[in-house]
Amino acid sequence: MTIANQPSDFERGDRLQPTGWMRYLSFSLDHKVIGIQYLICGFIFYLIGGTLASAIRIELTSPISDFMARDVYNQVLTLHGTIMIFLWIVPVVNGAFGNYLIPFYVGARDMAFPRLNAVAFWLIPPAGLMLISSYFITGAAESGWTAYPPLSINTPAAGQIIWILSVLLLGGSSIFGGINFIATILKLRRPGLKLMQLPMYCWAMLGTSILVVLSTPVLAGTLILLSFDIVAHTGFFNPVLGGNVVVYQHLFWFYSHPAVYIMVLPAFGLVSEILPVHSRKPLFGYTTMVYSIMAIVILGFVVWAHHMFTSGTPPWMRLFFTIATSFIAVPTGIKFFNWVATLWGGRISLNAAVLFSCGFIVNFVLGGITGVALAQVPFDVHVHDTYFVVAHFHYIVYGGSVFVIFSSIYHWYPKFTGRMLNEQLGRIHFFLTFIGFNLCFAPQHWLGLNGMPRRVAEYDPQFALINQISSVGALLMALSTIPFIWNTIQSAFNGQIAGDNPWEALTPEWLTSSPPPVENWRGQAPLVTAPYGYGARKKEEEDAESTDTNNQGN
Amino acid sequence: MTTLVPIEENSAIESNKEEEHGDYRMFGLAAFLVADGMTFAGFFAAYLTFKAVNPLFPDAIYELELPLPTLNTILLLVSSATFHKAGQAIRNNESKNCQRWLILTAFLGLAFLGSQMFEYFSLPFGLTDNLYASTFYALTGFHGLHVTLGTIMILIVWWQSRSPGGRITSQNHFPLEAAELYWHFVDGIWVILFIILYLL
Ligand code: HEM
Ligand SMILES: [Cu+2]
């Protein structure tokens, strides 16, 4: 923006771009604009997905299906899951923060393929609109986000086909993004910057992008076969025609287990950026963090059948997948202890960003513990397809990834806009979310253990009270977004001016103006070899500084 | 409200980036082909699993004839070699030669597609007859789609490497190299497909 007065240079006319808010609606090639496009677009879909979630919770306050007809419930449930995963969490933890931050972190002026980058983003809105409009035009898909056949073959075809097309577009977007991140991180690094000096989010995105590039195409192929079953009446997955439904499950989870890491690994990376800054300490165990990310990537490919313990998998397969899944707890545990050790003894400013990150740590541990429990066959056969699983994955995808998205918005908002968010509203947002979330999902463990199945609009009346408690939690979560939305809009115009580096952070995105100029730095990109070098300065300096950063925190 | 603003003029890094850009595109394409290869890997895995756990009724079993697919394999392997020749020619600045090799490659690609079509029409089973038939058509069809796209790319590259006037020269031959890598990839997939589908 300050750049607007620079002398013009029309030799590079092909890279002219609009400025002002209109550029967010344009086919901009600027990685920062694309990052914000992903973020805002994702958040709009989050609001839609959240509205659907509220509808689900309203329906479940009573044991009979009174608020919605049963088939409407199924459509709402399917749309909710698909939107939250493919249009909110995946695009935001990867596309939004990845595009905004990765070029800074590698010392580049943009991504490796800016045009591909813009294409990847612009695939998302049409795919999302298609998916949502199917509800009004033909009726949406009814078979859940997993689209298991034979259900997906027997339910109305139009909605299911639109669902498949939309997921294929989103998968394509995700693959293009992944290729771009790999090329940017490996090839576009500023001369002199070594891989082991990169901020942790780069490693997380490298690992995630490998998962994306290797697993998403398998989902695409599988969905193409499924669409043949639906429109051409082939029998790949249709038992009536001699097909095999379990093959679909294998192929689907070969993508979708890695997909859970596509949702959570970038969140790991973001937390690893946020905690050191606000506790004024280096990230604990950098090297072990890198190796555990890579271990998770490799192990993530060999655990998929833990979703299929009740699908007639043979005993040797169950044994293998139980063991492999349990092993994932090791690198995950290492990361957990590293975050705690980063906080330990630090000068922590308990601002909204840190609160959400700490909320993430707490929720993620709970979700991890239930995950390891679910990996044990004797336990899983009892609670598979019950609310216990629903509780497990919401602790990870909401309590984990979504908490981190909020934490990241509080942390990087000053970078995006040059203004601070209101701290008071931020804390109200955090406490409402944290209490609402736990109130909503903790009781669902009990529901699942006592046998309440998932994905149904009606249930045994004995579960009514606990479901009502859960719905109250959901109400709190819905309310919690109001202070957040108000805060982000209001602060964009009236927020306190942030200055270039309000957190005194050392990672490269803070070593330029806020918001940054179009090509990130006025002159040469800085060479940042110690992104976590906190505490390296003299003690008096740190003391003097911590008094002014802390008056925000306490 | 929408004003056009030029992007800041840049330092050494920027010019660096511009110079090396060709390399990144090749890298990006290679990554894309890995992804594409995973789609095939998924199909192969599905096919092999079907074969292992969903045996067909005896009357549905049909032994595929080998001569035609063997001919197809030879066509594609030779076309990989001719494409390679075209690449060498353009690097040596012999655009006439390059075009000759390219048109030969395109012809081999078309011959492959023709003979594949012929095979489709002479087979005694259709897409929906049984699981095996469906998988056969899905796999060969998906590969055939790749060959079709590849042939179109070859024809475009052929037109662009005309001299004078074409965009592809000994200095600037990324599109040709990209199409070549893609073509080798498609041929490689065919070899695996041939082994799995016809020989196993
Ligand atoms: C400590 C690591 C984890 C372990 C051991 C684990 C284990 C499991 C197991 C065994 C199931 C299957 C339960 C069943 O259907 O009966 C499951 C379901 C699920 N997990 Fe995890 N998990 C872990 C982490 C995660 C992460 C990081 C995410 C997402 C970010 C996640 C998301 C999900 C989802 C979405 C489902 C349900 C899928 C469905 O049926 O719709 N999990 N998990
Ligand atoms: Cu899993």
Any atom of ligand 1 within 6 Å of the Cβ of A374: yes
| Chain A residue numbers touching B40 (CB-CB < 8 A) | 221
User: Is A130 at the interface with chain B, CB within 8 A?
Assistant: no
Ligand nearest to the CA of A309: 1
Q: How confident is the model over A67-105, as pLDDT tens digits?
A: 999 999 999 999 999 999 999 999 999 999 999 999 999
| Phi, psi of A190, deg, nearest 5 | -60, 140
Its sign, for the CA torsion A395, A396, A399, A402, is negative
Between CA A148 and CA A105 the distance in angstroms is 40
> CA of A252: which chain B residue's CA is closest?
B42
- Would you call A254 and B42 a contact, using CB atoms and an 8 Å cutoff? yes
Q: How confident is the model over A241-274, as pLDDT tens digits?
A: 888 999 999 999 999 999 999 999 999 999 999 9
DSSP string, B20-75: HHHHHHHHHHHHHHHHHHHHHHHHHHHHHHHHHHSPPPGGG--PPPSHHHHHHHHH
Give A535's pLDDT tier (boundaries 50, 70, 90): confident
Between CA A156 and CA A160 the distance in angstroms is 7
Any atom of ligand 1 within 6 Å of the Cβ of A303: no
Q: What is the pLDDT of residue A541?
A: 54
CATH of domain A31-510: 1.20.210.10
Look at residue B1 and tell me whether its pLDDT is greater than 50.
no
Look at residue A7 and tell me whether its pLDDT is greater than 70.
no
Which one, of B157, B161, B162, lies nearest residue B180 by Cα? B157
Q: What is the pLDDT of residue A534?
A: 87
Any atom of ligand 1 within 6 Å of the Cβ of A332: yes
Which one, of A143, A247, A301, lies nearest residue B135 by Cα? A247
Between CA B21 and CA B12 the distance in angstroms is 14
CATH architecture, domain defined by B24-199: Up-down Bundle (1.20)
Q: What is the pLDDT of residue A486?
A: 97
- Among A86, A308, A318, A389, the mutation site with the greatest number of ligand 1 atoms within 8 A of its Cβ is A389
Q: What is the pLDDT of residue B164?
A: 78
Q: What is the pLDDT of residue A18?
A: 63
Give B198's pLDDT tier (boundaries 50, 70, 90): confident
Could you tell me if the ipTM is greater than 0.85?
A: yes
- Would you call B28 and A113 a contact, using CB atoms and an 8 Å cutoff? yes
- Hey, whose CA ends up nearest to atom 3 of ligand 1? A371
How many angstroms separate the CA of residue B97 from the nearest CA in chain A? 33
User: Is B15 at the interface with chain A, CB within 8 A?
Assistant: no
Q: What is the pLDDT of residue B54?
A: 80
Most confident of A45-59, A336-350, B160-174: A45-59
Look at residue A519 and tell me whether its pLDDT is greater than 90.
no
Q: Among A252-261, A294-303, A357-366, A525-534, which stretch is predicted with the lowest mean pLDDT?
A: A525-534
- Hey, whose CA ends up nearest to atom 36 of ligand 1? A393
Q: Among A520-524, B7-11, B65-69, B84-88, which stretch is predicted with the lowest mean pLDDT?
A: B7-11
Which one, of A283, A310, A313, A160, lies nearest residue A223 by Cα? A160
Q: How confident is the model over A110-138, as pLDDT tens digits?
A: 999 999 999 999 999 999 999 999 999 98
Which one, of A82, A299, A293, lies nearest residue A170 by Cα? A82
Q: Kindly report the pTM of this predicted structure.
A: 0.90
Between CA A65 and CA A59 the distance in angstroms is 7
